[in-house]
Homo-oligomer: A and B are copies of this chain.
Amino acid sequence: MTGTEPYRDPTAPLDARVHDLLSRMTLREKVGQLNQRMYGWDAYRRTPGGFELTDALYAETERFAGLGALYGLQRADAWSGVDFDNGPGAEDGAALAELVQRHVVATSRLGIPALFVEEVPHGPMALDGTVLPVNLAVGATWDPELYERAAAHAAAELRARGGHVALVSALDIARDPRWGRTEECFGEDPQLAARLTEALVRGMQGSGSGSGELFAPDKAPVVLKHFAGQGATVGGRNSAESELGLRELHEIHLPAARAGVRAGAAALMSAYNEVDGMPCSGNRALLTGLLRDDWGFDGLVMADGLAVDRLARITGDKVSAGALALNSGVDLSLWDEGFTHLEEAVERGLVSEKSLDAAVARVLRLKFRLGLFERPYTTGELPSREAGRSLSTDLARASVTLLSNPDGILPPAPHASRIAVIGPQAATVAHQLGDYTAPQRPGTGSSVLDALRRLAPPGTDIRHARGCALTGGDVSGIPEAIAAAASSDLAVLVLGGSSARTPETEFDANGAALAATDEMTCGEGADLAGLELGKAQYALLDAVVATGTPTAVVLIQGRPHVVPDTAAAALLTAWYPGPWGGEAIAEVLLGLAEPTGRLPVSVPRSAAQLPVYYNHKDTEYGGYVDESAEPLYSFGHGLSYTTFAYGTPRLTGLDVEVDVINTGERYGRSVVQVYLRRLLTPTWPRTLELCAFEGVDLAPGERRTVRLSLDADRLAPSRTVEIRVAASAREALGVRGQSLTAPEDTPL
């Protein structure tokens, strides 16, 4: 093998290289490129001096005459069993990747390197990876620019460790908080999710990542998860069916994917759930008709783990399941047996070699774009850990959302010198992290208690009582908590849920939790019907509030839970804010930072009133006999320590201008939200649709004009719409709008 073949020539056009390489490959080699069957952690074993490769890897490369892609080589968590004793960290991840890659290239007749595919849901799911807040917290920042920088950092970490491709949840829309993966959603709104998905793609891939361009060494192609409609499964049940219609899919669940594709996303992951009767990974209308034909997507489609094999339920066997998936538009499989039999599928005439070639070409193209043929082993430079920590903390700080603040409990008055820090989430970092997180080195991060101790004014007396556990009804710790609260000037009560997996967690074949451990109420496989915190937490709240001490309740959670009546307490949610979330929360509690988060989801009053989201259809509905149909807290809601006033919006063409004034005494940030209300329109409209937003930072008394541009595509096909500017969806229901009508012969 020499360097003279066209596919080895880095100056040759991408298409020519792909074409040339493909023409040299055997059917078996091609099939190998489409498989990603192994768990990465089965490929290596730690030795005293480093790592050695396993027989499992040898068998796999032998079987496929090379290796198409390897999943999770750097993955570390309770499911994989990888931890600091046996897994790769920051210092040796790259060496492990190189070891594996050298073997793959050596066993491939044509020297084709493997793609290393890694979970990067909120930072790399690898030892020493910088953990970011979960997507739901990112949604609460309403700050795509900040998220873009954090995503860039995560990509750089991935590449420096020898990883290539980042699997990132972005496309699921949170429509039912019972779903345990709500934490992986940017929120309930397609516009918010679309803007953050664009930021993700730009941040990870680089801003100019057209499909013909190479990726910089610190940039990573993204697999956007999950395509499509996974947020709409029935009952909030993980990977169950969706019954939703195509129009609903297009209006709510597809815009983030569309935006991601437009931004140049390298790949999408086809979801488990069905759409209009067909699971996404066997859904040609979705993966080919819509994605490739209508949207012009020319990237890669990877199926979710074992999603191809599941198709055997209707095809009768896994060979035909693999054929159905490939023919539908899946290029790369994950863990399935079905795709290993594609050779047989071709021989049986279930799949044409042309279809197979198209899929292989997409895999190869990504490898060429990553420069793997030129630089199979070199990796990017590990970015500074301090920069990562800083970005993670910035995101956490920006996501802390103040939902209520009766009597200005927060920030505490200067004379509040005794603070009781109470609750099962007060003194732990483990439950701040969310699902899909690698084990952390001891001492990483900061709990709320730690941070309050560090950041409170000198002389502040900080006392702590756990009160109760996250789950269960054990109230034996409550008296101690009452005592602490009663003798304090402020009680900070940190409650919530957890997605923390432990070695005791039982897992499904795809890594979703099967039997949740005691404290786990969220994450993949942990759906929660009642949306309730542990029973003892409600008892603890009641007891602490009953002391009469001003109380601030902080919720650390992966979904909106049912929050009790907090008329007497301030209420904040920080979602899962990441390791340094305690610091961000403490800063906001103490008034060292402003609460700037805004709700990316509506907070329901109970599970009985689900679904609850602001952008429902515009039907008159009075509410239930026994409960309001309105959320407790509205999408877009979030208080500040200062106050803002909005001027009358001015509409010029598709530009909206509005003056925003900080009318309070403190610095603050208002998130200007532009909502659309369709008036003359061909199908039944939603009450409101978010169509633009912009955060604006203002000093006390400062006034600034914010200009937002509306997207003409977003307004089509309505003839007349009304534009409303407000600080939340609920507020937008009450403000006067500006009407916008398209000229007679032009659609808007």
Contacts and interface: CB of A to CB of B under 8 A. Distances in A.
Contacts of A240: 616-617, 619, 621
A699 interface: no
B621 A237 contact: yes
A241 B616 contact: yes
Given A520-B625, A624-B529, A241 B617 contact: yes
Nearest to A684: B274
A513 to B, nearest CB: 9
A293 to B, nearest CB: 20
A314 B685 CA distance: 8
A246 interface: yes
Contacts of A624: 178, 237, 527-530
A685 to B, nearest CB: 7
B626 A532 contact: yes
Instruction: Name the prevailing secondary structure of the A interface residues.
Output: loop
A434 to B, nearest CB: 16
Interface in A610-637: 610-611, 616-619, 621-622, 624-627, 629
Interface string A238-261: 111111111111000000000000
A681 interface: yes
Nearest to A682: B314
A241 B529 contact: no
A234 B274 contact: no
Interface string A520-542: 11000111111110000000000
Interface in A244-295: 244-249, 274-279
Given A235-B629, A241-B619, A278 B683 contact: yes
A387 interface: no
Contacts of A626: 521, 528-530, 532
Nearest to A238: B621
A316 B679 contact: yes
A684 B241 contact: yes
A12 interface: no
A609 interface: yes
Contact of A608 (B178, B238, B516, B627): B178
Given A316-B679, A625-B521, A609 B529 contact: yes
Q: How large is the interface on A (under 10, 10 to 19, 20 to 34, 35 or more residues)?
A: 35 or more
Contacts of A244: 243-245
A663 B519 CA distance: 49
A514 interface: yes
Contacts of A629: 235, 237, 529
A531 B608 contact: yes
Contact of A234 (B239, B611, B684): B611
Nearest to A514: B622
A318 to B, nearest CB: 14
A506 B246 CA distance: 38
A523 to B, nearest CB: 10
Interface in A464-492: none
Contacts of A521: 625-626
B235 A247 contact: no
Given A243-B244, A244-B243, A245-B244, A683 B314 contact: yes
A275 B278 CA distance: 20
A220 to B, nearest CB: 32
Contacts of A678: 314
Nearest to A237: B621
25 contacts: A232-B243, A234-B616, A234-B617, A235-B611, A237-B629, A240-B616, A240-B621, A241-B619, A241-B684, A243-B244, A244-B244, A244-B245, A245-B275, A248-B277, A277-B683, A314-B678, A521-B625, A527-B625, A528-B625, A529-B629, A530-B606, A606-B607, A607-B608, A608-B608, A610-B610
User: Which 5 pairs of residues, A with B, have the shortest CB-CB distance?
Assistant: A241-B617, A529-B608, A607-B608, A245-B245, A277-B683
Given A235-B629, A245-B248, 19 more contacts: A234-B617, A237-B621, A237-B624, A237-B629, A240-B616, A240-B621, A244-B244, A245-B246, A245-B249, A247-B277, A313-B618, A514-B622, A521-B625, A521-B626, A528-B626, A529-B609, A529-B627, A529-B629, A608-B608
